[in-house]
Every structure is written in C-alpha cells, then in structure tokens.
A and B are shown apart, each in its own frame.
Chain A
C-alpha cells in the first residue's frame, strides 16, 4: 500500500536553508507534490516534480527526487518568517484514469529569529 512519511517538526534560523524530507513507498508514483498550509488555512500547492525528473528549481525552492530510495526533499533557501507553515508532501498514482493523492503527515516548520 501507499505510505508517505515525514518528520513532524523542523526549526531553522532565519536566513538559513530549510530542508524538509519525505519518503514514500509506491514506485508507480507519477507526480510528487509539496503543499504549504499556513495557520487557519487550507493547503496550497507550492511545487511539484514529475517522477522522471530528479531535480526542479523554482526561485528559493529546490526539489530533489531520488527514485531509487523513494526519497523526496524540499529545500527552501534564505528561510524567512513568512515560510513558517506546515509542509505536506504528496504522491499521486494514476489508476485507470483516476488520480489518487496520498499525503504525508506534514512537517511544521518554525523559524527562529
């Protein structure tokens, strides 16, 4: 079955880089996603990576995918107070045209001034 795991908490000093890690179990994933949840709000898509890529960069965000180890990471450069949130990784698997999304437990990122 599908299982997506993340550490629950991460604290980082303002200005440092944050690295949030995720492991998944289903090797047939098509896309992997990172969603951000700010306090009291729903989730918003931050970035995604197609399963045949190993890296994607988007401004301060770098996504690394290691398919062999089923490991996904999100690096946020120059972390700011506005980056405080819960970050969820999610894997999607296509099944007869339907896409099933499985979310991880979420990592709460706290920024230390």
Chain B
C-alpha cells in the first residue's frame, strides 16, 4: 500500500492564482481531511469528508473548496491564492470505527508559498 499520497510536494503561487492540491489514499478509508500547519499554531482542520459525496467545513475553510467524488481522492482547491495561505498542507485519512480509536494516516505534506 502506498498509504496517503500528496502532490505536489512544493508549490509557489502568485496572489490571485488558483490551484488544486491532490490527495489520494489506497486504504479504503471513509474519512479524509485536510489540515494546514503554521508555526506555533499546530494543525488546523480546513475541510473533511466522511465518505464519497459528503464534505463538511472544519475550523478554517475560507478560501478553500473540496469535493469527494470517489473514496480514494480528496482534492483541495485554492480559488484565489492569498499570502495568508502560505503554509504546509497535510491530507489525512482514517477508517471510521465506532467506539474505537481511529488512527489518522498523514500524507507527506505540500509546502505552499503565495507571493
């Protein structure tokens, strides 16, 4: 299993440009999520999905869109990039096991710089 993969690893954008960060997992996990990591702020949840066709907002959703057309893929779209979106973005997936702990499996991250 490849686990959780993310592309690209690095990206530089100009203010106002749009782009899509790709995330895929091959573990048949129902739950997928996107986080951003900023110094001194830990990980903050952007959007998440509990299954194909179902998405919801996390803590910091503004400026980002997601869709979940398949179980495997969960792309994150930046509609009009802003310097405040400079961050490291992590995609994660986990099974949904009621009443049990759910380990989240993280991708290697995408480092995004917006000029």
Contact = CB atoms under 8 A, between A and B. Distances in A.
Given A42-B4, A48-B101, A98-B50, A4 B42 contact: yes
B43 interface: yes
A101 B104 contact: yes
Interface in A17-31: 31
A53 B3 CA distance: 30
B43 A88 contact: yes
B53 interface: no
B108 to A, nearest CB: 5
B106 interface: yes
Given A41-B108, A98-B50, A99-B96, A105 B42 contact: yes
Contacts of A98: 50
B109 interface: yes
A105 B101 contact: no
Contacts of A4: 42
A113 to B, nearest CB: 26
Nearest to B44: A103
Interface string A73-87: 000000000000000
Contacts of B40: 8, 105
A45 interface: yes
B106 A43 contact: yes
Given A105-B41, A105-B42, A92 B106 contact: no
Contact of A44 (B31, B43, B102, B106): B106
B98 interface: yes
B101 A50 contact: yes
B26 to A, nearest CB: 16
Interface of A: 4, 8, 31, 33, 35, 40-45, 48, 50, 88, 92, 97-101, 103-106
Given A31-B101, A105-B41, 17 more contacts: A4-B42, A8-B40, A31-B102, A40-B108, A42-B90, A42-B107, A43-B106, A45-B104, A88-B42, A88-B43, A92-B102, A97-B98, A98-B50, A99-B31, A101-B45, A105-B42, A106-B42
